[in-house]
Structure 1
């Protein structure tokens, strides 16, 4: 597998400068006083210092802090003269601020969700159900955010996926070269004209029958009746059949209209239909040209072995089945012409005349500029113009030639990579920094225009753009992506309880997982949009629930399936992130709670003070279990090892406090064996009795939490770890946050307006 070597240049430069430049004394110092414990044979704390080219920006900061406060080298090790150590500390401090060592290459590949959004915005594609990134490999992020440049490499295989994806997306967007607006047609199909997919399904005398959830019913050659992308009215005459009286009592028979296109399927509409009586059911849905819409009975659930195969399927009752008599397709309805995809891709309000050379040149110039998110160089325009003309000589079709040329543009590194220079960002780089931070997509035309004139660098204009973009609906991408990754809630569902475990049956019966995730996202959005203090993440008197989550939490709720803001009682164990089931679920393994994991989560995700990795010589958490009945007793046995005590002293108290919540977030006071849970502890010198007390202890560390919160947002936005110079800016923003009562919108604004966002 070949990897494009965009990211290795700075580490080679680091090694050369350390070996030959003003920082060269550090190498022999490390060799003499550090490598014994942090070298090829031993790596205490998982730290290795014998090869300076592999020291990251984060580690340079840690080295500085350890040396500054006298923690390293440790007292029992050989010590250098104080004057020499002081000189080395100054050098390490300088390196931790030096862009040459701590800021990697300005190349960052678009991650998968950014690619998806960028293609949609570049081509004007609807997000109804076509996913441009459907055929692209998932990102492999080792740690941190999915914007981390060091993880976003590109391979030959991935490049082919991008080229294939671009071609499919362009064919979807530019589906016709007809200049005339398509006229709506209305066509009705009877059951003899149907295709019926699915085992045990059939075409009967009066209607088609679908007997399993897999498969569906649709007219033959249906794609021929969707001549253009747009809205269509789909109408069918249908009924449910074969349900026993007890099944009918369970609820109405459900039928889904499903759209399938380019490997993606999506439910377009669900209907509650009658049993044993035909009815008319209609819906207006968005369909791409070439899509396959079909009907499926979602109440159908049978096993083939229960069927008497010698009977005719129509008579093999009682068997739940969906019966459809006819299907009518009408459309496209109120189609926009030219389609929005043409207006966006070609930047034209009319269907372009490809025969005009000036029109072709302008189309190409506009597309390259938008795709590359900067001004176009003459040599680039000439190269792609020649490629376009070569394609036309091959196929004699201008639309297909543009599609192939655009695909080549979208498979280039200028499109797939965000490129930034070390130092202050240029106007176009700044426009991309803002848009990918807040929208996870390319800049819009307003940002492009301001970047093109250079006005974006004007502080007043820049501030206005920040305000506009935060309030734009596209900011939902930041509101969703950042908290899911910051809090690791994107891992929700990877360690579910067993479906046959009765004590967690409510998790599946009520489908709680989506509600858990939505509570955290709604909570984050509310704190941001309402400009609440970020201390609400530590504790609050409100949260978001629906009726099922309220039942799990055992709190009063007047509502239904919709998530709503609720006020919590003063003595509630809910409120803040630590009261949310999503956090309890991701810090469990589906079978039991994990207090060490929970404690580590509090220290790492919330406070930014994670303990170092456990040394290799420390045994796994399975000491002698004789007499152990609780997690507290187990941890006490484990931490009696001197090698473990230091970390577990700070990690165990918050983890044990969270033992008050089970694997799916229910509050509890005892374990299954009736052993009582003791959630008391001591956090940073503050004693607490339970989870409520832990939250109060965390609030005493608000400044630490705020600092970490700013660091996390900055790393997400910059796509790299911060260096010491960045941390100086974080301190300034944190000081402002305290003066502004820690209000979230003010903090985000200060981050965006600072040099953290305006420089690489």
Structure 2
């Protein structure tokens, strides 16, 4: 890939601060300087601002600390630019004017937007909103109704040419292919992702190989080259220095022999490294380039160092850092370019797995590789792509036995699908929420990792069944609890706690097993009383509950319904000592209703009372203040129904007051209680059938599971995950087709993914 093209594709967009200080400068003056039609600008733009904006943004009112007067006439000042950036952003995202105020004619609004854009262009200023609309948090600012309006003629879809920085998972798999190198700890992960809760983490924008990343990459490449040739010395766990090496046979002649190598042997060594690191064969020009490089490096540094230097040059090729998707295929009549076969091979491989196309076999162990299938022309049609995508997803079902796949991945797994669920729901962040174990009343009962594994199995089981996936995710009460993955694994764990006399918990285990079996029940296959008590999070009694060997199994339908009532999700979206109705409501607004909530203004003290004599609902009444309620009137009613659960995700009917420790009655039996108030509602959802009160969380999730809008928003987030970017209006036909594929195949998420990965949005660049 040409370096100039790489710079073009990944040029960083300059972003300036949007905080507003000082007065707004005259739009009239701006247009007077930059436009020939001055009267038109004055009558349309200034009147527009006076009619729709000045009421709230004059000197006296100054809502949001944003003022449109007094007027000044110098557009060269940065404060004037900041103001117009803000105006353009609010108009294009539809945030202003507010819905309860008079709304402008769409044509007039578009006119103002175009005039500001033209002015920016002539002044050499890039609109900040163009950059912001590429960020995950701005995805919902695009009009939802327009995206799914099939009555309008849709533009043919495409994605922009891009260099998409490799994910840490792809890089880790490449290192894994080198053998035991990562266990030597000589190579470090150079890439990082946004680990914010509820955010699609792997986007193509905003992630670059900056100086620090490149330095670490170069260090890694040097370590790998040494590991493949002379070896690396590292101390083992006992402090003994050991040499670690894994040298391919193709390299031995250049490292262990002084005899002259043939050109064919050098070409074979180069091809080996290309296949290992880049997942493809080197082209003839690349072979010639590497051979020439080796010759020069050998002359300067000697045979071994020269050979290592050549290996490093291969490992630092752009495609070892970025996914190259610029559209090297044929150009169509609209100016779009299709991905070449090579580009498509890697795009599909990394969309479905963390492995290259040569590592993915379709049709079993003896089947063709994805590279072979593509080069054979089988994926030159959209139908062929959908067929192979479905086949890969079907063949590589992540059975319940594979829930530990992030630690062990000996076969292809649907790791990407599970990663989508984790990014979307955010339940895996339960392990990062601090909870005081003293509040649980046992030594080691807060084992959030187990809850996350249970949630992983829950979502992937629904995905594997592939029927009414969205609805099942929100309503199913068929849960996994302490399931080791298979009946065979259950027997192995059971035998361990029965027979391992050296285990510190052996006597307790023996008594526990005898008592449960005397009652005709199956013991939980977890050693130790404190560890078994984690099932309390599901409102199960660890001393009396009979373990279910066939899972998933139904929990009480009056206590659990879908992932949003799973302890892992509830803990992830809780605080350290309380529930968090606000963030839970915000999650529903953003992830199921395509709504946006602005950041809390710096001038707002966003805290609630710590007076625990009051219920949390009562303490939240402070958010009903005039300056807060515009946002909280939508968030609070969505989050408060989850008060049916405490902040450990346990179902409850009463809320305990007073001291924090008092919420656990087994330790503080004299705590005051009051009945939990679980009512809430949905307001301004964009779907009139959804709006209205709900009695509790179960009515809420049931309504959401049946909502067309919520399902479509789920598909929008899936688009963002598998495309690596936010949707645009040109992607409308892609989203409509994905929803149709989902519905026509019985609520099949696999069909939806196949539709996305065979769409023009995925296949074409422009």
TM over 0.5: yes
- Give the Å deviation of 1:162: 0.7
Residues 544, 141 of structure 1: CA spacing in aligned structure 2 closer, same or farther, 3 A cutoff? closer
Using the alignment, how far apart are the partners of 2:159 and 2:86 within structure 1?
12
Contact kept? 2:466, 2:747, Cα under 8 Å: no
Residues 438, 505 of structure 1: CA spacing in aligned structure 2 closer, same or farther, 3 A cutoff? farther
- Give the Å deviation of 1:689: 2.5
**1:675 aligned counterpart, secondary structure:** strand
Paired residue for 1:168, among 223, 229, 238? 223
- Give the Å deviation of 1:161: 0.4
Using the alignment, how far apart are the partners of 2:711 and 2:260 within structure 1?
56
Residue 668 in structure 1 maps to residue 652 in structure 2: yes
Using the alignment, how far apart are the partners of 2:650 and 2:185 within structure 1?
37
- Give the Å deviation of 1:55: 9.3
State the partner residue of 1:531: 466
State the partner residue of 2:290: 384
Q: How does 1:415-564 map to 2 (within 5 A)?
A: 415-421=320-326, 423=336, 424-444=338-358, 446-452=369-375, 455-470=378-393, 471-472=395-396, 473-499=411-437, 502-506=438-442, 509-510=444-445, 512-534=447-469, 535-546=471-482, 547=524, 548=532, 549-555=534-540
Q: Structure 1 or 2: larger helix share?
A: 2
State the partner residue of 1:331: none
Contact kept? 2:250, 2:272, Cα under 8 Å: no
Contact kept? 1:115, 1:441, Cα under 8 Å: no
Using the alignment, how far apart are the partners of 1:523 and 1:602 within structure 2?
20
Note the residue ranges of structure 1 that are not aligned, 5 or more in a row. Answer: 13-17, 178-196, 198-214, 225-288, 291-338
Paired residue for 1:595, among 562, 576, 581? 581
Using the alignment, how far apart are the partners of 2:463 and 2:159 within structure 1?
30
Using the alignment, how far apart are the partners of 2:433 and 2:268 within structure 1?
53
Residue 679 in structure 1 maps to residue 675 in structure 2: no
Residue 393 in structure 1 maps to residue 299 in structure 2: yes
Contact kept? 1:479, 1:521, Cα under 8 Å: no
Relative to structure 2, which stretch is displaced further, 516-525 or 379-388?
379-388
Instruction: Give a deviation string over 1:46-89, Cα, whole Å, max 9, x none.
Output: xx996699799xx98x956739xxx7476757x76775346669
State the partner residue of 1:744: 749
Note the residue ranges of structure 2 that are not aligned, 5 or more in a row. Answer: 1-5, 16-30, 67-78, 118-128, 134-141, 148-153, 328-335, 360-368, 397-410, 483-523, 525-531, 658-672, 683-689
Contact kept? 1:621, 1:638, Cα under 8 Å: no
Contact kept? 1:38, 1:49, Cα under 8 Å: no
State the partner residue of 1:153: 208
Using the alignment, how far apart are the partners of 2:539 and 2:97 within structure 1?
50
Q: How does 1:127-526 map to 2 (within 5 A)?
A: 129=183, 134-136=188-190, 138-139=192-193, 144-173=199-228, 223=242, 289=244, 342=248, 355-365=261-271, 367-368=273-274, 371-372=277-278, 376=282, 379-394=285-300, 396-397=302-303, 401-421=306-326, 423=336, 424-444=338-358, 446-452=369-375, 455-470=378-393, 471-472=395-396, 473-499=411-437, 502-506=438-442, 509-510=444-445, 512-526=447-461
- Give the Å deviation of 1:378: 5.1
Residues 566, 559 of structure 1: CA spacing in aligned structure 2 closer, same or farther, 3 A cutoff? farther
Q: How does 1:695-710 map to 2 (within 5 A)?
A: 695-701=701-707, 703-710=708-715
Using the alignment, how far apart are the partners of 1:28 and 1:540 within structure 2?
58
Residues 755, 590 of structure 1: CA spacing in aligned structure 2 closer, same or farther, 3 A cutoff? same
Using the alignment, how far apart are the partners of 1:485 and 1:630 within structure 2?
32
Residues 81, 568 of structure 1: CA spacing in aligned structure 2 closer, same or farther, 3 A cutoff? closer
Instruction: Give a deviation string over 1:220-267, Cα, whole Å, max 9, x none.
Output: 66x37xxxxxxxxxxxxxxxxxxxxxxxxxxxxxxxxxxxxxxxxxxx
Q: Structure 1 or 2: larger strand share?
A: 1
Instruction: Give a deviation string over 1:697-730, Cα, whole Å, max 9, x none.
Output: 22232x2222122222221222211111123421
- Give the Å deviation of 1:419: 1.9
Contact kept? 1:589, 1:663, Cα under 8 Å: yes
Contact kept? 1:527, 1:744, Cα under 8 Å: no
Using the alignment, how far apart are the partners of 1:465 and 1:550 within structure 2?
41
Using the alignment, how far apart are the partners of 1:653 and 1:441 within structure 2?
44
Residues 452, 126 of structure 1: CA spacing in aligned structure 2 closer, same or farther, 3 A cutoff? farther
State the partner residue of 1:566: 552
Paired residue for 2:695, among 682, 689, 694? 689
Residue 721 in structure 1 maps to residue 721 in structure 2: no
Contact kept? 1:30, 1:50, Cα under 8 Å: no
What TM-score does the superposition give when structure 1 sets the normalisation length? 0.64
- Give the Å deviation of 1:477: 2.2
- Give the Å deviation of 1:444: 1.8
Contact kept? 2:537, 2:567, Cα under 8 Å: no
- Give the Å deviation of 1:629: 0.7
What TM-score does the superposition give when structure 2 sets the normalisation length? 0.64
Residues 529, 511 of structure 1: CA spacing in aligned structure 2 closer, same or farther, 3 A cutoff? same
State the partner residue of 2:501: none
**1:159 aligned counterpart, secondary structure:** helix
Residue 636 in structure 1 maps to residue 636 in structure 2: no
- Give the Å deviation of 1:427: 1.8
Residues paired across the two proteins, number: 578
Structure showing greater relative contact order (alpha-carbon pairs closer than 8 Å, 6 or more residues apart): 2
- Give the Å deviation of 1:129: 4.1
Using the alignment, how far apart are the partners of 1:108 and 1:8 within structure 2?
12
State the partner residue of 2:493: none
Contact kept? 1:504, 1:664, Cα under 8 Å: no
Residue 734 in structure 1 maps to residue 739 in structure 2: yes
Relative to structure 2, which stretch is displaced further, 535-544 or 728-737?
728-737
Residues 162, 26 of structure 1: CA spacing in aligned structure 2 closer, same or farther, 3 A cutoff? farther
Using the alignment, how far apart are the partners of 1:608 and 1:132 within structure 2?
44
Residues 648, 420 of structure 1: CA spacing in aligned structure 2 closer, same or farther, 3 A cutoff? same
**1:545 aligned counterpart, secondary structure:** coil
Paired residue for 1:576, among 552, 559, 562? 562
